Amino acid sequence: MKRIACIFCVLVMSAAALPAQESAQADGIPKAEDAGRFGKSRLTLGGYGEATAQRMFYSDNVYRYTYPESNKNATHGRFDLPHAVIYMAYDFGKGWKFSTEIEFEHGGTGGAYEIENEETGEYEIETEKGGEVALEQFWIEKTFSGKANIRMGHIIVPIGLTNQYHLPNEFFSVLRPEEESAILPCTWHQTGISFWGKTPAWRYEAQFIAGLDAERFNNANWIQGGAISPYEFEIANAYAGVLRVDNYSVAGLRMGLSGYYGLSAVNSLKWERYDNQNLKGTVGIGAFDAVYNNHHVIARTNVLYGHLVNSYAISMINKKLPSASPSPRTNVASDVLSWYVEAGYDVLSLFPQNKNREDKLYVYGHYGFYDSMYKTAEGISPKGWSNKTIISGGINYYPMNEIVVKAEYSFRKFDAPFNNEPTLSLGIAYSGLFIR
């Protein structure tokens, strides 16, 4: 871990010593597919990162939904580094490219050996820092033409809006939109093969990846944990397919459809427990998203519906797994629903003296809903707290394209008898290229 941290520091300091570069896109660093296509350098180096401060005006007690009456009028706060990412790509030539992203979530992680004087001088290993270090992307790609490319390795699964557009200057909220990130893996990345291409008006992508692990599903986050393997390998007893199509025909507007279909029941180390009952655990997800960015207005929407076959049988098996297993061991819903809309206006555009300046100040509003137990199989009671309405608003200030300062007040609304959950959040983030 110390070596990784040293490498990370060297890369950051090296990049900071370089002259500032103008962002290749108004809304963030180039997509991975554009690696090596900017300037004369074959090497592309960049990244993004976020620092946040939050004050939550509600209890963080794990039993706050079980005993809502006794958990009123509490507050708590958090400082965090949700994501710090180093992005690197290299163009080998002849249509071959390589790209990788190393992500430090919540400041990374760390441990150290110590001698415990209070326990007769025994060696102990102490966890000194929470968080996670993840290889979010690692792939090699062959380009045949702009309309035909094949990518092999660890890739982003582009289901929904945030998975495809997850940079901190591609959403208004301080943290990634909860309506998606609470029920889907976000950012969703798995090892597989992708075939994609684009024209001026269209972009398509089809993927072949491993299925999700049903043992990791739960009531609060549906399939979210199913893409994250707790083992040294990704289980691939069953497979899944992904398809995404985007259209750019209208100036300033991008509309996308994405879908996922795959088996999950036998995709765990204890697969025999599912196979003995002939369970498939088919997961189907469909999503529509759109972004409008023109006339000083940015508006976004995402609508997502998901269905899980054999949810009752999977729930019963998971709840009986031993406590040492990585399973949350809860019920899981048969269907989930998620949607949101948000829109912001650059108020600095109203002032003539700001016409040729780079800085922008978006004032925005956000409204959404999600339910991780929207429908449940017979015999499984839905959880009232799984039904959430999200109302938020705030500002995004861009002193330049690569940097954004955010302030947000959000309100997570529940049905009675649960307590509503307001939050005040501040954040600063960057997203850009240092070498291209």
Sorted by sequence, the CB contacts under 8 Å of residue 389 that are 6+ apart come out as 367, 368, 369, 412, 413, 414
| DSSP strand pairing (132-145 vs 148-156) | antiparallel
Average pLDDT over residues 347-356: 85
Q: What is the DSSP string of 133-171?
A: EEEEEEEEEEEEETTEEEEEEEEE---HHHHHS-STTSS
Report d(CA 158, CA 164) in Å as an integer.
Answer: 5
Q: Is the pTM higher than 0.85? A: yes
Report d(CA 251, CA 253) in Å as an integer.
Answer: 6
Confidence of residue 127 (pLDDT cuts 50, 70, 90): low
Q: What is the DSSP string of 188-226?
A: -EEEEEEEEEE-SSEEEEEEEEEPP-GGG-BTTTBTGGG
Average pLDDT over residues 330-359: 92
Average pLDDT over residues 182-194: 95
Out of 88-92, 150-154, 224-228, 356-360, pick the least confident: 356-360
Is 80 exceeded by the pLDDT of residue 117?
no
The CATH classification of domain 2-435, taken from the options 2.40.160.10, 2.60.40.10, 1.20.140.10, 2.40.10.170:
2.40.160.10
List the chain domain ranges.
2-435
pLDDT at 307 (0 to 100)? 98
The two three-digit tokens of residue 339, written as one number: 């949607």
- CB of 168 closer than 8 Å to CB of 216: no
Confidence of residue 12 (pLDDT cuts 50, 70, 90): very low
Q: What is the mean pLDDT of the chain?
A: 88
pLDDT at 21 (0 to 100)? 34
Angle at 156 between CA 325 and CA 44, to 5 degrees: 125
pLDDT at 125 (0 to 100)? 62
pLDDT at 24 (0 to 100)? 34
Report d(CA 160, CA 340) in Å as an integer.
Answer: 11
**Higher local confidence (pLDDT), 271 or 315:** 315
Residue 412 DSSP label: E
pLDDT at 35 (0 to 100)? 54
Confidence of residue 149 (pLDDT cuts 50, 70, 90): very high
